Structure formats: C-alpha cells, structure tokens
Amino acid sequence: MVRKLRVSRYNPSQLRDNSKSGNLQIYEYYRNTQVINREERTVDSKLLGAMKMTYTQAPPLTKEEIGLFLKDAKTARLCSFNKNGTIHAVPLWFKYGNGQIIIASPEHSQKTRNILRNPNVTLLVDIEAPQIQGVIVYGKAKVHTDDWTEEFLSLTTKYMAKKDAEIWNEGLSKIANWVKITIIPEHIASFDYEKDDEFKKIMG
C-alpha cells in the first residue's frame, strides 16, 4: 500500500500525516498542492498536471565553488547535540580558511556546552530561493579557551570595517567571555539548483 502525505502551500499550519506510522519526509514545496509518495519517490502536482518528476538530489557545487561559497557566505546554522539527544540549531557568523571553520561563542552558551560533551556537529550554509544553493558540513568541533583576540577581530572584520569591529568586539567582551570554536570538516555535501535544468523548467 502506498502511503501519501498531502501538503498545502497555503495552509502550512494544517500539515497532517495521513499514514499510520508517521514515518514520512516532507519535501520542499513551492506551488499549489503536492502529494509526496515515499515508496516511488515521485512528486505529483496539480501545477504539473499529468507530468511526473522522479525526486533526486540537485547537482553539487564543485570543490572550487564550495571554497568560494564558504568564504563569501555571511550566516551559517550550527547544529549540535543537546544532552537529551535533541538538536540545538543556531544561526551565527563564521569564517572559513585553511580547511577549517571558525566561530565565536560565549563560554557558557548551549552550543559550547554541547560541543564539549559531544564534538559531532553539522553546519548548514545556504542561499534561499530563487537561487537555491548550499553547503552542508559534517565534522568535529573543538573549543579553544586560549587568547584569540586578533583572530576574533579577523572574524568580525568579515562583516564590518576594522574600526567598527574593534568597537563591536569590545562591547561583546563586556557581556561574556568569548571562546573560539573550530570545526574540522569530515564530509561536505552541497547542492546547486541553478544547475538543475529540470527543476528550473518545472518551477518556472
């Protein structure tokens, strides 16, 4: 028996799982009403009429594109494990270079405590519609408590002029002790819907 989940674009609060097990994925949806068929992994839409599209992962970014993407992107979402096994996700500033990602975190924040307990993290950096691109970094994070004043300044100057960054960091240091967290990628996945001709054709 084929299990299906109906998703209404205009009533997201009314999403409901019509299966007994509830073990279904909700895919991104963009127009009208779609029906997700988990067994056949196809998407039927009133917009498409009788046309069917087999769901596949969007083409990836190249290695060079990933490097440039991570250097230019402004915001990342860091996911770490809470003590009870749930996921703690938070948007943050970051800097990429020399094969690693650097972020700043208050010494006693939830993400810092999570990483000290479990270093496994996932970092998502993406661009939203219409130019949907993204990089997902799976790796190990490490908390550093030694002085990193100059490196912290280097991180914030990615987002503002050096003079402003100095004032910004001085203000931050008054409210918390900021530690450096480095993330060493173990696996990187990426997606670039700009390269997906079928996706662009369907979505118009």
Say whether both 145 and 45 belong to one domain.
no
Alpha-carbon gap, residue 203 to 136, rounded angstroms: 24
pLDDT digits (tens, 9 = 90+) for 102-134: 999 999 999 999 999 999 999 999 987 777 899
State residue 111's pLDDT score: 98
Q: Judge whether 200 lies within some domain.
A: no
Residue 17 has pLDDT above 80, yes or no: no
pLDDT digits (tens, 9 = 90+) for 165-181: 999 999 999 999 999 99
Give yes or no for a contact between 40 and 2, defined as CB atoms under 8 angstroms apart: yes
Q: Judge whether 139 lies within some domain.
A: yes
Give yes or no for a contact between 36 and 27, defined as CB atoms under 8 angstroms apart: yes
Say whether both 90 and 162 belong to one domain.
yes
Q: Is the pTM of this model over 0.75?
A: no
Domain that holds residue 148: 63-193
For the chain, state the CA radius of gyration. Answer: 21
Alpha-carbon gap, residue 177 to 193, rounded angstroms: 40
**35 CB burial (10 A radius; 0-12, 13-18, 19+):** middle
Calculate the average pLDDT of the chain: 79
pLDDT digits (tens, 9 = 90+) for 53-82: 455 678 899 999 999 999 999 999 999 999
